[in-house]
Amino acid sequence: MYLITKKEELTENIYWMDVCAPRVAKSAKPGQFLIVKAGEKGERIPLTICDFDKEQGTVSIVFQTLGDSTKKIAALNEGEYLHDFVGPLGNPSELVFEDPEELRKKKILFVAGGVGTAPVYPQIKFLHDLGVDVDVVLGTKSKTTLILEDKMKGACTNLYICTDDGSYGFKGMVTDRVKALVQNEGKTYDLCVAIGPMIMMKFVAKLTKELGIHTIVSLNPIMVDGTGMCGACRVTIDGKVKFACVDGPEFDAHLIDFDEAMRRQAMYKTVEGKKVILAEN
């Protein structure tokens, strides 16, 4: 059982939780994920790690309430317990293994979409601690759905916020902002890391391919059990079959068959989840 030491509603239906899990915190790395269960019989929810504190022994998660299982997690309060908190799972971000000197020479752009801002945070925090400059384009529906603005500002060089409705920052999608940065504002990037809804990652990948920027995405959204058992996260990468939870979750975006991955995502979701995906796509 894993004690919830902090719970905060970041915005409507999106929660931050700190969970006491010293062994997970000790080995967690940016890019890895967890399997979380509210109760013994709860559904297994794969969630990317948002932050960790090795000294305090806590791991932070951010999640949106989309169905019964995430609502059950959200109903728990500080001082209560999660039944399962398994991890860290999956491969860390490839940035973790790069020579810091080489990283400091690179121009890196992160693209964070909606709730996908949470898994971007540990990566930019890691790079910030190494003295690596990064730009972040953060897209969300509206000012009211924006999360982690202060944390992101504190860990990157430039934060470019865009909202679909224009209520805050640039009005438009993340792809519009990335295009403007590169084509109108003279920015150049060696690497782009995009994390958000599948549809966003698909179109960021399309754009960065045209712009010639190597791009990595996280395929967390297509996972179901997160342990290599269910087969739901099967994806074709450069013509080869891979499993997002075991071989990923991060992959070279330009080698992914996004259309197949999104069809499979819709197929494996519950009726409740399907409604969300259809609405998103």
Near ligand NAD by CB under 6 A: residue from 108, 109, 132, 174:
174
> Choosing among ligand FES, ligand NAD, none, which partner's interface includes residue 162 (Cβ < 5 to 8 Å by kind)?
ligand NAD
Neighbours of 102 (CB within 10 A): 9
> Binding segment for ligand NAD among 17-25, 102-110, 179-187, 193-201 (CB under 6 A)?
193-201
Query: What's the token pair of residue 148?
Result: 């982690």
- The one-letter amino acid at 90: G
- The residue whose two tokens read 């109108």 is 184
Q: Pseudo-torsion of CA 20, 22, 26, 31, nearest 10°?
A: -30
Nearest CA to 178 out of 210, 131, 141 is that of: 210
Residue 122 and residue 50 in contact, taking contact as beta carbons nearer than 8 Å: yes
User: Phi and psi (nearest 5°) for 105?
Assistant: -85, -15
| Nearest distance in Å: CB 55, ligand NAD | 26
Give the three-state DSSP class for 273.
helix
Query: What's the token pair of residue 245?
Result: 């939870």
| Nearest distance in Å: CB 69, ligand FES | 15
In the window 16-55, what residues touch ligand NAD (CB under 6 A)? 48
Residue 231 in contact with ligand FES, rule: CB under 6 A: yes
> What is the pattern of x (binds ligand FES, CB under 6 A) and - over residues 104-123?
--------------------
> Binding segment for ligand NAD among 73-81, 113-121, 151-159, 256-264 (CB under 6 A)?
113-121
Residue 90 in contact with ligand FES, rule: CB under 6 A: no
Residue 225 in contact with ligand FES, rule: CB under 6 A: yes
The residue among 3 and 246 lying less far from ligand NAD, judged by its C-beta, is 246
> With contacts defined by CB under 6 A, how many residues of the chain interact with ligand NAD?
24
Measured distance CA(178)–CA(212) in Å, rounded: 13
In the complex, the residues that contact ligand NAD under the rule CB under 6 A are 48, 113-116, 119, 139-141, 162, 164, 173-175, 195-197, 199-200, 203, 218, 220-221, 280
In the complex, the residues that contact ligand FES under the rule CB under 6 A are 223-226, 228-233, 243-245
